[in-house]
A and B are shown apart, each in its own frame.
Chain A
Amino acid sequence: MIKIVGITFQGVLRDKVFHGILLVAGLFLFIPSASAFSMRQVPQLAITLSLSLTSFLLLLLAVFLGGTSLWKDVERRYTHSVLGGTPISRASYVLGKYSGVSLFVMATAFLLGVLSLAAIWFAAMAYPPDRPLLWLNILIAVFFDALKYVLLVAVAFLLSTVSTSFFLPIFGTIATFLAGSATQNVYDYLQTPQGEQLSAGVKAAALFFYYMLPNFSAFDLKANAIYSLPLDPGGLLLTFAYAAVYIAILLSSASLLFTRRELQ
């Protein structure tokens, strides 16, 4: 499996998608000057822009690398040479590919996190903030954002194991991301007086999706980073455990489905 992780990591590094995303990362250079346009709360805006840009780049990586990595191997018949020509099992292959892509997402998150810290530091030096910046909060926010995308990559892999076209892995992953980011808001709405007036069917459907889809809003720690709000260690641990269990379920299902798939 380690060999597959290495090969996948190498492949992503040489992938044009990654090179394009690197170019977009050049936008970090403009964050300090763009933040200055706000005229007030410049460091806060710098944090917002940095975290949003990091999140956007990680989303692109998760969707395009997660959605195409396994699918491309099957489509281009690389799997025939590797799975037919070596003793690597299908489950190891899926887990290795997933680990390679996830490792890459985490490494990119680390790199973008460092760039974010640099951009925020420049902004804070030019316009000292009213409240002290909590650098650890910013780093933790980046880590949990990356964890969210590692979970999204697992969704993309699950969809790739059953799909013969890239539509399902790509658009299915985007749809899951959008729905998973909204389910908490929908759930909160159901608890309001207006929400309670909805039909039982609509409520049941909303609850079904709330429990079935990954809840991405749990990973959003931007407010804590921007406004230097204290983090709840128990909540963080719970979110981490939630991601670990969810990823384990998705990857077990993906391995099972891929093992049964016919590679014609």
Chain B
Amino acid sequence: MDAIELVDLTKIFPGKKGARVKALDHLDLRVPQGEVFGFLGPNGAGKSTTIKILMGLIRPTQGQARLLGTPATLPQARLTTGYLPENPAFYDYLNASEYLTFIGQSFKLDTTTIAARSETILHRLSLWEARKRPIRSYSKGMVQRLGIAQVLVHQPEIYILDEPMSGLDPIGRALVKEIILELKAAGKCVFFSTHITSDVEAVCDRVGVILKGKLQTVQEVGTLMEKGITGYHIRHRMPGQEIFKESTIRPEELQVFMTNIFQSGEEVILLEPLRKNLEAFFLSIVSQGSSNDQ
């Protein structure tokens, strides 16, 4: 059974003067358990709409969304899911400890478990010192980290994160990536939306690109990165010499070039693949999508 299943998902919002805005257009997607899936798209592409349908906040005009086989419209679908909304907001009169206790109780966790997990998570997310302060006094980054804490406290099977790195400093971003990789290692499914391609490169198994409500492509990130190699940059020198040479070659020349290097007795100091990064891939999809519309 897939962790996330979107079948023919379509969402039409009523616009001004009777106009209809198609936010999602027959979206089909399956994400298995144990996979980290990056949902990439520019602003207004339909990422948050998809996630809101998955979390039962809005209803699809057509199609179905399921979480571990349970329709997303049912509250019990969220028993196995953790959700971080985009720009999260929490009862600002509570403090972090009170809020996590409330969340834990909502999932029927016992008091001891909630207290133990809250302590670990709050320490990990550097919120321990601020745990007794009202949330209204938190910075944007702290609120975002509390949102991540909410997602982790009940240890769900599926993690749906809408722009999880938003508002975080580099340390916070690195921490979130680390947490995502740990979840992946634990066999959990992580589905996160972003428009930052380097985040996808760092943690995702697969990436889906959505543009104007249509899923343009779904690719393995590893394959994509391999396909994107355009050449190699090599730094080499004769043994004992201080001056080195630099060469840039095409991928198909690598085998011959390396054989020649070793035959001549040179040593390789650096071998660096040159590749189009995910951003280039993403931009090509976006420009392709735009030109198809014209």
Contact = CB atoms under 8 A, between A and B. Distances in A.
Given A262-B57, A262-B58, A78 B91 contact: yes
Interface residues of A, number: 23
A76 B89 CA distance: 7
A87 B107 contact: yes
A85 B82 contact: yes
A193 to B, nearest CB: 52
Nearest to A91: B75
A85 B150 contact: yes
Contact of A80 (B59, B89, B92): B89
Contact of B89 (A6, A77, A87, A89): A77
Nearest to B90: A81
B79 A87 contact: yes
Contacts of A194: none
B103 interface: yes
Contacts of B150: 81, 85
Given A77-B85, A78-B90, A81-B89, A87 B57 contact: no
B202 to A, nearest CB: 25
A84 B103 contact: no
Interface stretch (A7-15, A31-39, A213-221): A7-15
B78 A7 contact: no
A85 B93 contact: no
A84 B90 contact: no
B55 interface: yes
Contacts of B106: 3, 82, 86-88
B76 interface: yes
B26 interface: no
B151 interface: yes
A87 B76 contact: yes
A192 interface: no
B282 interface: no
Contacts of A7: 91, 94, 102
A113 to B, nearest CB: 27
B94 A84 contact: no
B31 to A, nearest CB: 18
Most chain B CB within 10 A, of A6, A14, A76, A80, is at: A80
Nearest to A75: B89
Given A262-B58, A262-B59, A264-B58, A84 B93 contact: no
A82 B85 CA distance: 10
A14 B93 contact: yes
B56 interface: yes
Contact of A81 (B75, B107, B147): B147
A77 B260 CA distance: 64
Contacts of A76: 89, 92
Contact of B52 (A6, A15, A82, A264): A264
Given A78-B89, A262-B59, A85 B94 contact: no
Interface in B36-61: 52, 55-59
B83 interface: yes
A180 B103 CA distance: 39
A89 B75 contact: yes
Interface of B: 52, 55-59, 75-76, 78-79, 82-85, 87-94, 98, 102-103, 105-107, 147, 150-151
15 contacts: A3-B105, A7-B91, A7-B94, A10-B94, A11-B93, A14-B93, A76-B92, A80-B88, A81-B83, A84-B55, A85-B82, A85-B151, A86-B103, A88-B75, A263-B52
- In the A-B complex, list the 3 residue pairs whose CB atoms are closest, starting with the nearest: A84-B55, A86-B106, A80-B85
Interface of A: 3, 6-7, 10-11, 14-15, 76-78, 80-89, 262-264
